[in-house]
Amino acid sequence: MHGKIMLGLKKSYPSAKIALRHAGPLQLLVAVMLSAQCTDKMVNKVTPALFERYRSAKDFASADIEEMEVLIKSTGFYHAKARHIKAACKIIAEKYNGKVPDNMEGLLELPGVARKTANIVLSNAYGKNEGVAVDTHVKRLAFRLGFTESTNPEKIEKDLMAMFPQSEWNKVTYLLIEHGRAICKAPVPLCSQCSVSSFCPKDGVSKRK
């Protein structure tokens, strides 16, 4: 059944892809870090000025923290985000010669970077599918569509990795995100408008997160 659901979503969202605007791995990493508890739309409003001011990992690493906070304030949690970005870029500049690591181990050692961020950077910047990025939309839809019985992001990721071929892991993330934004919303999904409603275990869906 999950195969039919994904086929339906592919037909509904043929252009599903990452919404964060970026040029290269470093900008992508910073944008994803800013997207925590913030919409991609808001991040895209903030990043042009940010990337104009800081063009390299060394620039971010040596940035005045208060100046950076002013530029990213509208993304929320800007104190922590600025601190993490600065610290992560210091490691990138000093340990990796300014290049964002292209492997899971290297990315996870960066402050403020967990598996979701690492998966997004690896798949979109380096073409490496090492996992499935589980954001709030993916978490909600994976549960509602019966792909998992868990609400734990790490367990959900493992369930999705076991369910779909590795070549599809990146696509799975953005198909679920698109459907979550458009139709399968929280708290009430628009089931009457859903292209895969006939394959969805809708019973009790209102009780599901």
Residues 6+ apart with CB under 8 A from 84: 33, 111, 112, 113
| Cα(122)–Cα(126) distance, integer angstroms | 5
| Cα(75)–Cα(42) distance, integer angstroms | 7
Contact 43, 22 (CB under 8 A): no
Residue type, 93: A
- Which value, to the nearest 10 degrees, does the dihedral of the CA atoms of residues 14, 142, 138, 80 take? -170
Which residue of the set 116, 139, 159, 171 is catalytic?
116
Contact 63, 86 (CB under 8 A): yes
Q: Is 135 a catalytic residue?
A: yes
| Cα(69)–Cα(34) distance, integer angstroms | 11
CA–CA distance from 178 to each of 66, 75, 96 (Å)? Answer: 35, 21, 34
| Cα(34)–Cα(47) distance, integer angstroms | 9
Which residue of the set 86, 135, 159, 171 is catalytic?
135
Q: Is 116 a catalytic residue?
A: yes
Active-site residue list: 116, 135
